[in-house]
Chains A and B, each alone.
Chain A
Amino acid sequence: MELPLAHASQIPLIAYLLVGSVLFVTGITCMIAKRNLIGILIGIELILNAGTVNLVAMSSPFVAGSGLPALDGQVFALFVILLAAAEAAAALAIALTYYGGYATIDVDHGDRLNG
């Protein structure tokens, strides 16, 4: 099957992977540096998006050097988006309970359980 745009993109896979790794490191930094629960959640979303970027680039037929079968990564990415939404919903509900107990969403105040 001849794809009309198959040779349109000259951006190599490594460029996409670099974007993914920057997102990943930003997410990890965000998670460690932020004390606010919402901030940490944003960091987690960034990490998930890093994985998504990798997957989509790796299985795109338009990216030179991609290794995964076409559509595998794209479908995986859709599932990751779904999971991220479910996780965020659960985490926000939990944040609300936490706020009910502590009147703040700063995670440093949660030190009743010392571990």
Chain B
Amino acid sequence: MNLLHWIGQLEGDAYRSLRLFAPEGLVCATMLLLLLSRMLLPSRRRLPYWLAFVGVFAALAAAVMQWPFFALLPQLPHTAVGGFTGLLRFDTLGLFFRILFFGFSAVFILFLGMTRLPPDEDVGEFLVLYLASILGLCVMASADHLLMVLLGMEMAGVPSYILAGFIKSRRASGEAAVKFALFGAASAGVMLYGMTLLAGSLGSLHLPTMGMRLAAWTDPSAFAARAPVLVLGLLMLLVGLAFKLSAVPFHFWVPDVFEGSAAEVGAYLSTVSKAGALILLIRVASGLLGADATIPRLPDPAQFAAAASRFDMPADSRPVIREGVIQAGAAADRNGDPNVRPVAFARQDSTAEHSTAEHSTSELGSPAQLVSRFLAAVIAVLAAVSCTFGNLAAYGQRNFKRLLAYSTIAHAGYMLMPVAAAVAMWRTQPELARWALAASALYVAIYLIMNLGAFATTAFLRDAFQSETIDDFAGWIRVSPSLTVAVAVIMFSLIGLPPLAGFVAKFAAFASLTYSGLWALLVIGAVNTAISLFYYLRVVKVMVLDAPSEAVAAMPPMGKGAVTFLAVLAASLLVLGVLWQPLFTWAKAAAGAL
């Protein structure tokens, strides 16, 4: 193998990958500009908000403009484009989540501009940390290699530890940050160790390659010998993901961190941060279970050529995941053992291997089926426990942020339900599995709006009252009726009452459970929805029915900005509750290519 040939290939690959990575590049540039603006124009207090908003909006536009290209990919034999020699995987589902992250960020920065936190002189730093974290989430959304899984987790995690402790004057803030950082670092360490076990037993760090090795284990006794290590590795990997998702039993940090840190930070941690963990879980599962186990579709050369020319892609070179190129020489050099030689990355090869694997199934099923069942069971248990615990613990809470913290734990459970269904159906009914993934993507999209609204309410009320205790909001409707109505809509949507968007999200998630036959999970989800009714409604009841205290009665009405912001969020929940079809169609298109 010729070195120059390699370098040439790497160069082309890097150039192509950077084109697809352009939105993240724009976020990086924005971070640099923010730091420079702090240095050069320190007196311009509002400048960082504008810089960050424009940067994130440009990233959003760049990501949306990639959609037509990705929408064409499913017509090819390959449904994804490998980026950076196979470290990242660019496909429609990843793009869906990246668009969500950038769109959320644009709204989030507007919201930050309206609250009294962060203090004006620190806005630049706050935004830089926030954007760094978003960058990590984007890496998570396209990770296709264990190195990227870990890097993405840490790139998103480390800045958020600092964000949690951002208000240096508050003692509780420091405590929250300490708890968050220690739990986070420990779970990342456990996850790394689990990754090494998985990688060692499957002989690769590249997720699809690992999946193919797994599918190629046709000898049941060899599988039985490695199964304990595999199971241990998977469980340890799930520790890190469950921590980020704040699923029970790795949820201890959630209430403390949300109570101790600012509501703005909670608004970030409970929404996109979780969405990142969810897409990463989907990535890991799809890699291990064989992302390519789909029916090949016929390409349309003319359309692809048109799309490819826009992205400087040679139309005749089909986008393939390129790790094989890098590893082939190294492994073949090391030992001539044909078993170690990396598998080629074409769809045809993988299907051939899958079919041989299915033929030689023992009475237990093929290794990939066993792993699929095991993963589905673990995720289902996590979902059921998170849901139940979150909803029960939310009852006695007096602090609004703590209540929302338990509510986000419960929602992590609902979010995991369609993923469990998808993993269970992955090998048997790929089309329905993709439907379930679309349901979870829909859930995430709607959940981002709902929870941003809930935490924005906390932030606005904190600025008005200097209090976050629910009982202090008594009679708020007499001061600011429009704001109270908006809050009520957001709370109803969090419960999942029709005709609001929360109902659609929950309905899709539960429907995916009926497809996969996870009836127990469905019952648990339904019972939990009924339980959650009471504590969400209590907030509304206190605000609407209770008599206002003197302090509340003497309060001036809320600022127009806050009311408009919440009203727009509530209105979008109403609209999505009725016109959910376009969003779901988009989510289905995104999940269809996996």
Query: Which residues of chain A have a CB within 8 Å of any CB of chain B?
Result: 1, 17, 20, 24, 27, 31, 37, 40-41, 43-44, 47-48, 50-51, 54-55, 58, 61, 67-73, 75-76, 79-80, 83, 86-87, 90-91, 93-95, 97-98, 100-102, 107, 110, 112-115
Which of B29-37, B50-58, B107-115, B181-189 lies on the face that meets chain A? B181-189
Q: How many residues of B contact A (CB 8 A)?
A: 50
List 27 contacting pairs A-B, 8 Å CB cutoff, sorted by A: A20-B193, A31-B182, A48-B192, A50-B193, A51-B192, A51-B193, A55-B196, A68-B204, A68-B205, A69-B204, A69-B330, A69-B334, A69-B342, A70-B330, A87-B158, A90-B161, A91-B182, A97-B168, A98-B174, A100-B168, A101-B174, A107-B182, A110-B174, A110-B175, A112-B260, A113-B179, A115-B256
- Is the C-beta of B320 less than 8 angstroms from some C-beta in chain A? no
Residue on B nearest A88 in the bound complex, by CB: B185
- CB-CB under 8 A from A87, the residues of chain B are 154, 158, 181, 185, 188
- Is the C-beta of B224 less than 8 angstroms from some C-beta in chain A? no
Please pick, from B158, B165, B190, the residue contacting A86 in the complex, using a CB distance under 8 A.
B158
A112 and B178 form a contact (CB under 8 A): no
A94 and B193 form a contact (CB under 8 A): no
A86 and B193 form a contact (CB under 8 A): no
Residue on B nearest A58 in the bound complex, by CB: B200
Supposing A44-B186, A48-B189 touch, asked if A113 and B178 sit within 8 A by C-beta, the answer is no
Q: Chain B, 199-223, contact with A by CB distance < 8 Å: what is the 0/1 string?
A: 1110111000000000000000000
- CB-CB under 8 A from A51, the residues of chain B are 189, 192-193, 195-196
- CB-CB under 8 A from A114, the residues of chain B are 256
Identify 11 new A-B residue pairs, CB closer than 8 A, beyond the known A43-B186, A67-B199, A94-B162: A17-B200, A31-B186, A37-B182, A50-B193, A69-B327, A69-B342, A94-B165, A97-B174, A98-B174, A101-B174, A114-B256
Residue on A nearest B209 in the bound complex, by CB: A69
Q: How far is the CA of A109 from the CA of B537 in the complex (A)?
A: 35
Q: How far is the CA of A65 from the CA of B200 in the complex (A)?
A: 10
- CB-CB under 8 A from A93, the residues of chain B are 162
Supposing A37-B178, A67-B200 touch, asked if A90 and B192 sit within 8 A by C-beta, the answer is no
The A interface is mostly helix, strand or loop, or mixed, namely helix
Task: Name the distance in Å between B10's Cβ and chain A's nearest Cβ.
Answer: 14
Please pick, from A17, A43, A112, the residue contacting B171 in the complex, using a CB distance under 8 A.
A112
Residue on B nearest A92 in the bound complex, by CB: B181
Residue on B nearest A86 in the bound complex, by CB: B158
- Is the C-beta of B151 less than 8 angstroms from some C-beta in chain A? yes
A110 and B147 form a contact (CB under 8 A): no
Query: Which residues of chain B have a CB within 8 Å of any CB of chain A?
Result: 146-147, 150-151, 154, 158, 161-162, 165, 168, 170-179, 181-182, 185-186, 188-190, 192-193, 195-197, 199-201, 203-205, 252-253, 255-256, 259-260, 327, 330-331, 333-334, 342
- CB-CB under 8 A from A61, the residues of chain B are 334
Residue on B nearest A49 in the bound complex, by CB: B189
- CB-CB under 8 A from A58, the residues of chain B are 196, 199-200
Supposing A101-B171, A115-B255 touch, asked if A94 and B189 sit within 8 A by C-beta, the answer is no
- CB-CB under 8 A from A48, the residues of chain B are 188-189, 192
B175 and A101 form a contact (CB under 8 A): yes
B162 and A90 form a contact (CB under 8 A): yes
Task: Name the distance in Å between B342's Cβ and chain A's nearest Cβ.
Answer: 8
A68 and B199 form a contact (CB under 8 A): yes
Task: Name the distance in Å between A107's Cβ and chain B's nearest Cβ.
Answer: 7
A55 and B158 form a contact (CB under 8 A): no
B175 and A112 form a contact (CB under 8 A): yes
Please pick, from B162, B171, B175, B205, the residue contacting A76 in the complex, using a CB distance under 8 A.
B205
A69 and B331 form a contact (CB under 8 A): yes
Q: How far is the CA of A18 from the CA of B548 in the complex (A)?
A: 65
